């Protein structure tokens, strides 16, 4: 594929806008760019490489001549328009959960399973969930050395994971509290300002939320580990951007902290930031607007055999969404 025509579906949303930034910053070799969104956004002008690109209304006929279609407009839009894009000859890279567990749709993190992108019977490649991507960026290098067996994780997820409305809700609540004014939560079930909420997505029959089960099912598919055990608690925290995950990982082989740190050497997209005695460890502000995930607090777990505890942080809008999609496009 030489100098492809690229379309962004949902170009005016937070992730769509970040896709635009990633394409420009990475000097993606595109021949033509097409920006697609709802009728109410059609006609807007977005900046790209020093010029203006007009946003067009998304229709089923929008994909003639498009080689790669980056979708980030929600699962409903992906289900409706993704097959039309693929039928028109585009490779669809979808950021929603619509196709992730479809056997005929590869689920790809380019640093982990890039070869999976080659086998796409439906012409669609799925972007994993943001929390899954960030967690696996930390776990995959360790799996290569020790053999991953089980994961227990707790996430600390930024409000921008709920979209712009999550940021607005946090800002409004902080302002109201500081001003002594009443407020009613709208986006979240409880107050998010100066609080944490142990619910991301809806609860299922087994007591886990959908977000927590994504960690299980998507990790198995990406890593090719059908028996991998994962238990996760996903928590919304009053942070604007970048997710953090506390992970206990159990392995088949005996673990060693120095060998664990060494496993990350030369691995793209992940860096070790781990010197707790000097208060050096990753925090969300360290990764906001950055490509790499940061890993720290690496230590032997003192409860389980062959287990490590670690802390990983990554920008969920970039590596957890937009950047990962653009990296898949680069593979193509």
SS3 9: strand
Among the listed residues 143, 232, 234, 243, the single catalytic one is: 243
Instruction: Give the pair of three-digit tokens for residue 106.
Output: 């590869």
Q: For the whole model, what pTM was predicted?
A: 0.96
Please indicate whether residue 22 is annotated as part of the active site.
no
Instruction: Mark whether 197 and 224 lie in a shared domain.
Output: yes
Instruction: Mark whether 123 and 137 lie in a shared domain.
Output: no
Task: With beta carbons less than 8 A apart as the criterion, state whether 6 and 67 touch.
Answer: yes
Task: With beta carbons less than 8 A apart as the criterion, state whether 81 and 7 touch.
Answer: no
What integer pLDDT is reported at residue 1 of this predicted model?
A: 56
Instruction: Mark whether 185 and 45 lie in a shared domain.
Output: no
Among the listed residues 22, 130, 232, 234, the single catalytic one is: 130
Instruction: Mark whether 167 and 118 lie in a shared domain.
Output: no
Instruction: Mark whether 120 and 80 lie in a shared domain.
Output: yes
pLDDT of 232 strictly over 60 = yes
Instruction: Mark whether 108 and 157 lie in a shared domain.
Output: no
Percent of the chain with pLDDT over 90: 98
- Find the domain containing 35 and state its range: 5-127+322-331
Please indicate whether residue 143 is annotated as part of the active site.
no
Task: With beta carbons less than 8 A apart as the criterion, state whether 249 and 142 touch.
Answer: yes
277-295 tens-digit pLDDT: 999 999 999 999 999 999 9
Instruction: Mark whether 204 and 297 lie in a shared domain.
Output: yes
Q: What is the mean pLDDT of residues 303-330?
A: 98
The enclosing domain of 306 has a CATH number of 3.30.360.10
Backbone angles phi, psi at 165, to 5 degrees: -65, -30
Measured between alpha carbons, how far is 145 from 262 in angstroms, rounded to an integer? Answer: 10
The enclosing domain of 61 has a CATH number of 3.40.50.720
Q: What is the mean pLDDT of residues 306-318?
A: 98
What integer pLDDT is reported at residue 20 of this predicted model?
A: 97
Measured between alpha carbons, how far is 118 from 53 in angstroms, rounded to an integer? Answer: 30
Instruction: Mark whether 173 and 71 lie in a shared domain.
Output: no
Instruction: Mark whether 24 and 116 lie in a shared domain.
Output: yes
**Domain count of the chain?**
2
């Amino acid at each position: 594929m030489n100098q492809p025509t690229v379309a962004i579906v949902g170009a005016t949303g937070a992730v769509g806008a970040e896709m635009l930034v990633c394409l420009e910053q990475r000097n993606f070799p595109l021949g033509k760019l097409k920006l697609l969104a709802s009728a109410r956004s059609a006609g807007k002008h977005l900046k790209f490489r020093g010029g203006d690109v007009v946003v067009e209304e998304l229709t089923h006929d929008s994909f003639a001549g498009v080689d790669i279609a980056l979708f980030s407009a929600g699962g409903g839009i992906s289900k409706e328009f993704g097959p039309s894009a693929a039928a028109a000859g585009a490779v669809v890279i979808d950021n929603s959960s619509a196709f992730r567990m479809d056997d005929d749709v590869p689920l790809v993190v380019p640093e982990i399973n890039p070869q999976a992108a080659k086998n796409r019977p439906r012409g669609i490649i799925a972007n994993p969930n943001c929390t899954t991507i960030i967690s696996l960026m930390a776990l995959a290098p360790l799996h290569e050395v020790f053999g991953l067996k089980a994961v227990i994780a707790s996430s600390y997820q930024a409000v921008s994971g709920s979209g712009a409305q999550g940021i607005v809700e946090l800002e409004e609540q902080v302002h109201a509290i500081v001003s002594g004014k009443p407020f009613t939560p709208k986006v979240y079930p409880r107050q998010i300002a100066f609080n944490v909420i142990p619910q991301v997505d809806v609860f299922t029959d087994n007591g886990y939320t959908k977000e927590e089960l994504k960690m299980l099912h998507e990790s198995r598919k990406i890593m090719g580990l059908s028996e991998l055990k994962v238990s996760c608690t996903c928590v919304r925290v009053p942070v604007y951007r970048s997710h953090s995950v506390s992970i206990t990982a159990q392995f088949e082989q005996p673990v060693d902290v120095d060998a664990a740190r060494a496993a990350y050497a030369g691995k793209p997209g992940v860096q070790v930031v781990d010197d707790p005695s000097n208060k050096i460890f990753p925090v969300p502000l360290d990764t906001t607007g950055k490509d790499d995930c940061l890993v720290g607090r690496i230590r032997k777990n003192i409860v389980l055999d062959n287990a490590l505890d670690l802390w990983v942080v990554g920008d969920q809008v970039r590596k957890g969404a937009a950047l990962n999609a653009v990296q898949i496009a680069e593979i193509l």
